[in-house]
Amino acid sequence: MGVDIYAKWDGQTEVEANAQITGWHSAGALGYLRGSYFGGYSDVLYEVFHSCDWEASSTPVTLLNITEIRGAVMGIRARGGTRPGHEFDSPITKIVEAVSPLLDKLNVETNEGMRYARVEEAFLREMEAFADLCESKLIAGLAPQILISW
């Protein structure tokens, strides 16, 4: 369970689309980011991609949302890589909070302690690579879209 974010664009080949199937490992340069709900980076993805429409089938890429993505990544770095707290209310936070008591009853570890752990630099670079890919497709006139599945 988690968040999957894909970049799609006009003229995307089957090879490019298949390269995004990584076994749930983020590969920003290929146009795929992943965050699991428990102990993963779903909250970070929501913070970085909050300007995208999480209810629509896709969000068109613009220079504005590329700038917002890069700005959010820089903000995470500026605060020392700390993750968003509960004050950053997202649908993902609500899902985790709703399911956690059930998992506790089933004695399933939810990694709640990891929620405030630092975001690894490697993951920040993956999000930057994703923004770079989207920008290159936008400049090439390929009408990139951001698709979010959660």
**What's the pTM?**
0.80
Report the pLDDT value the prediction gives residue 105, as an integer from 0 to 100.
54
Radius of gyration of the chain from its Cα atoms, rounded to whole angstroms: 16
Residues 6+ apart with CB under 8 A from 26: 32, 33, 34, 35, 123, 126
What range does the domain containing 83 cover?
2-149
pLDDT in tens, 29-59: 999 999 887 767 888 888 899 888 888 889 9
Lowest mean pLDDT among 1-10, 15-24, 32-41: 32-41
**What pLDDT sits at residue 96?**
58
Look at residue 127 and tell me whether its pLDDT is greater than 90: yes
CB 126 within 8 Å of CB 26: yes
Residues 71 and 129 sit within 8 Å (Cβ to Cβ): no
Per residue in 76-125, pLDDT tens?
Answer: 999 888 777 644 555 655 665 665 565 455 544 444 444 445 788 999 99
Residue 96 is encoded by which pair of tokens? Answer: 């985790």
Looking at the structure of the chain, the number of domains it has is: 1
Which one-letter amino acid corresponds to residue 44?
V
